Structure 1
Amino acid sequence: MSGDSSVATLLDMGVAALKAAGVENPRAEARLLLAYATGLDKAAQIRDPQTKVTTPQQHRYDGLVSRRAAREPMAYILGHREFYGLEFDVNPAVLIPRPETELIVERGSQLLAGAHQARILDIATGSGCLLVALLTSLPGSSGQGSDVSAPALEIAKANARKHGVDAATEFFLADWAKGIEGPFDLIVSNPPYIPHAEIAHLQPEVALFEPLMALDGGTDGIEPYKAMTPDLMRLSGPTTRILLEIGQGQENVLDAWFAQHGFVVGMHRDHAGIVRVLELCWPVTFDRSLHP
C-alpha cells in the first residue's frame, strides 16, 4: 500500500485480506487492528472515514493484518484478553483465557463468599487468570499458582501485579503441585484436556499458535487429571472444594475416576449446556443438587 491512505481505504484492504484468509468477522477485526495501529477507535473511524493515516501507522497496520491473516490469534497480536471483566496480558507462552472458564471463577466466588483469609491453589495457572480473578473477587484471600512453564509464570506474576493482588499471591515452577503444602480451601485448574490426535484438527489459531503443553491431554485427554489426582488428595482437607475444567464428553469417565479415589463429584454446565466444570469434595461436604 502507498502512504497517506485513508481510514476507509485501509479498512477495506484489511477486510479483504482477512476474509481471504478465512477469518471470521473480518470487518470487526480489521477495525480493531486499525484502532491499535493508529489510535483511532471505531467511532472515529466511522465519523471520518477519509482521515489520512501516516506512513508509519500504515506500515504498522499492514504488519498487524499480515499476522492476523496468518491466523495468529487476535489476543496475541494485541497482547491482552478480557476475562471475568478484567484485562489479562497474554503472549504465546500462555493459553488464551476462554469465556467458558469463567464458570470456575463464578462457582469459586460463590463457595468462598463470606470466607475470611481463604487459601486458593491454581494448578497449571498459565496466565494466572483464574487465580487473579478469584482474588479480586474475594478480598482477604490469598493464593498460590503452579505451572511447569517459567515463561507462563512470568505472565501470571505480571497479571497479579496489574490487578493489585501480587502481595496475596505466590507462584511456583512445579509439575502439577509437587512441593506445595496444603490444605487449601479451594483448588482450581484448567489443565490440558484435548486428545492429542484432535489438536491438528482445531482452528489454526489454536493448533498453530497456542502452547502445545497447555492443550495436549495425551491419548484420551484424561491423563492430566490422573496425574494431578495424588496432589488433589494430598492438598485437600475435609471441607476443600476442587473445581476442574474438562473437555466435552469427559464427565462420565472422570466421574468414575475420581469416585474411585474417594471424591464425590458435582457437575456444572456452561452456557451451551455442556458439562464444563467438575466440582470435587469429600463426602461430608457433598451437595447432591450438583449431580444430575
Structure 2
Amino acid sequence: MAESVRAALTRGAAALAETSDTPRLDAELLAAHALGIEREAMLLGRLDDPAPPGLDALFARRAKREPVAYIVGHRDFWTIRLAVGPGVLIPRPDSETLIEAAVAHFGAAGPKRILDLGVGPGTLLLAALAEWPGATGLGIDASEAATSIARGNAERLGLAARAAIRVGDWGVGVDERFDLVLCNPPYVETGAALAPDVAGFEPGSALFAGTDGLDDYRRLAPQIRGLLAPGGLAAVEIGADQADSVIALFAAEGLAGMVRRDLAGRDRAIIVAA
C-alpha cells in the first residue's frame, strides 16, 4: 500500500527534528508544495491521499539546511506572497513591524509616494503598495538579482504599474522626496555566528554590515532628511540591540528617532517623522 501523506508527514518531521526548530511545519509546507496545494487544504482534506512523488527529495534538501522558502520558491509577508530564491533575503515576519508603524501613522488614507531602500524581493514596497492602492513607489537595491525578482513579484501581484524598481546605491542620486521611506538594511556584525540556514544560503551582502553592524546606518542617516517629504515618515529596521546606536546616528543628523518593537517585544525599527 502506498504511504499516505499523514504517514509521510510523521516520518518527515522526525527526519527534520535534528536540523529544524519547526520540523512538523516544515514537513507540512514541503508536502503541500509537492501536492501543489495550500497547506490548509492539505491538512483539511488530503492527509489520507498517497504521498506525492518527490517528497523525500524535498525533505533531503531541508535536512541539508536549505531554507523552506527557497525550496518552495515563495514566502508570505503581510497580505502578499513573494517569490524568493537564492540571491535575495527571505522576508521575515519581524519586518512587518515597519508596515505596522506606517499604517499607524498614515491610516487608511496612506502615503502617496513610497521609497524602499534595499528593496530585496520587493518585500516592504510591495506590501505597502498592496495596503494603499492609491500609492506609487520606488524600490532600490544594489543587487541585480534582487531587483529582477522584485520586478517579477510586482508583475505577479499586479503592482508593476505603480512600482519602479532599479539598481542603485541607497539614496544616492535620488532627487525626490517621499511620504514614506522604508528600509531593512544589513545589520549583522561581520563574523557573527548565524544559523546554518541563513549563513549557508542567504546573501551575505544583505546580512553583514561591518564589525559593529552599523556601517549601512552610517550611510543612510545623512540621506534620510533629504528623502522625506514634509509630514513624512521613515521606518528603518534594526537589530534587537542596536536602538541606541542607530538613534544616535540619526540624532547627529538632526533627526529624532523613536523605537518600535516587534510582536515579541524586541526593538525592531527606528521611526523618524519629518
In the superposition, the TM-score normalised over structure 1's length comes to 0.86
2:119 aligned residue (116, 122, 125): 125
Query: More relative contact order in 1 or in 2 (CA 8 Å, sep 6+)?
Result: 2
Whether the 8 Å CA contact 2:117–2:170 is kept in 1: the answer is: yes
User: Which residue identity is paired with 2:74?
Assistant: H
Do the aligned partners of residues 121 and 16 (structure 1) sit closer, same or farther apart at CA in structure 2, a change above 3 Å counting?
Answer: same
Do the aligned partners of residues 5 and 117 (structure 1) sit closer, same or farther apart at CA in structure 2, a change above 3 Å counting?
Answer: closer
Whether the 8 Å CA contact 1:83–1:98 is kept in 2: the answer is: yes
1:70 aligned residue (64, 68, 91): 64
Matches within 5 A, 1:1-292: 4-19=2-17, 21-39=18-36, 41-46=42-47, 48=48, 51-53=49-51, 57-58=52-53, 60-113=54-107, 115=109, 118-198=112-192, 201-282=193-274
Whether the 8 Å CA contact 1:112–1:138 is kept in 2: the answer is: no
Rounded Cα–Cα distance in structure 2 between residues aligned with 1:153 and 1:125: 7
Rounded Cα–Cα distance in structure 1 between residues aligned with 2:205 and 2:32: 33
- TM-superposition CA deviations, 1:145-180 (whole Å, max 9, x none): 000001101111122122222111111100112222
Rounded Cα–Cα distance in structure 2 between residues aligned with 1:161 and 1:61: 30
Do the aligned partners of residues 116 and 52 (structure 1) sit closer, same or farther apart at CA in structure 2, a change above 3 Å counting?
Answer: closer
- TM-superposition CA deviations, 1:6-57 (whole Å, max 9, x none): 43553343233212x42123233223222222347223443x2xx444xxx4
Whether the 8 Å CA contact 1:83–1:129 is kept in 2: the answer is: yes
Rounded Cα–Cα distance in structure 2 between residues aligned with 1:212 and 1:173: 18
In the superposition, the TM-score normalised over structure 2's length comes to 0.91
Rounded Cα–Cα distance in structure 2 between residues aligned with 1:151 and 1:214: 12
SS at match of 1:197: coil
Do the aligned partners of residues 24 and 182 (structure 1) sit closer, same or farther apart at CA in structure 2, a change above 3 Å counting?
Answer: same
User: Which residue identity is paired with 1:240?
Assistant: G
Do the aligned partners of residues 42 and 109 (structure 1) sit closer, same or farther apart at CA in structure 2, a change above 3 Å counting?
Answer: same
Rounded Cα–Cα distance in structure 2 between residues aligned with 1:259 and 1:139: 33
Do the aligned partners of residues 5 and 220 (structure 1) sit closer, same or farther apart at CA in structure 2, a change above 3 Å counting?
Answer: same
Tell me the number of residue pairs that the alignment of Structure 1 and Structure 2 aligns. Answer: 270
User: Which residue identity is paired with 1:11?
Assistant: L
Rounded Cα–Cα distance in structure 2 between residues aligned with 1:209 and 1:102: 22
Gapped regions of structure 1 (runs ≥ 5): 283-292
Do the aligned partners of residues 37 and 117 (structure 1) sit closer, same or farther apart at CA in structure 2, a change above 3 Å counting?
Answer: closer
Do the aligned partners of residues 109 and 8 (structure 1) sit closer, same or farther apart at CA in structure 2, a change above 3 Å counting?
Answer: closer
Gapped regions of structure 2 (runs ≥ 5): none
- TM-superposition CA deviations, 1:47-104 (whole Å, max 9, x none): x2xx444xxx43x212111110001111111111111122111112211111111111
Do the aligned partners of residues 236 and 62 (structure 1) sit closer, same or farther apart at CA in structure 2, a change above 3 Å counting?
Answer: same
CA RMSD of aligned residues (A): 2.0
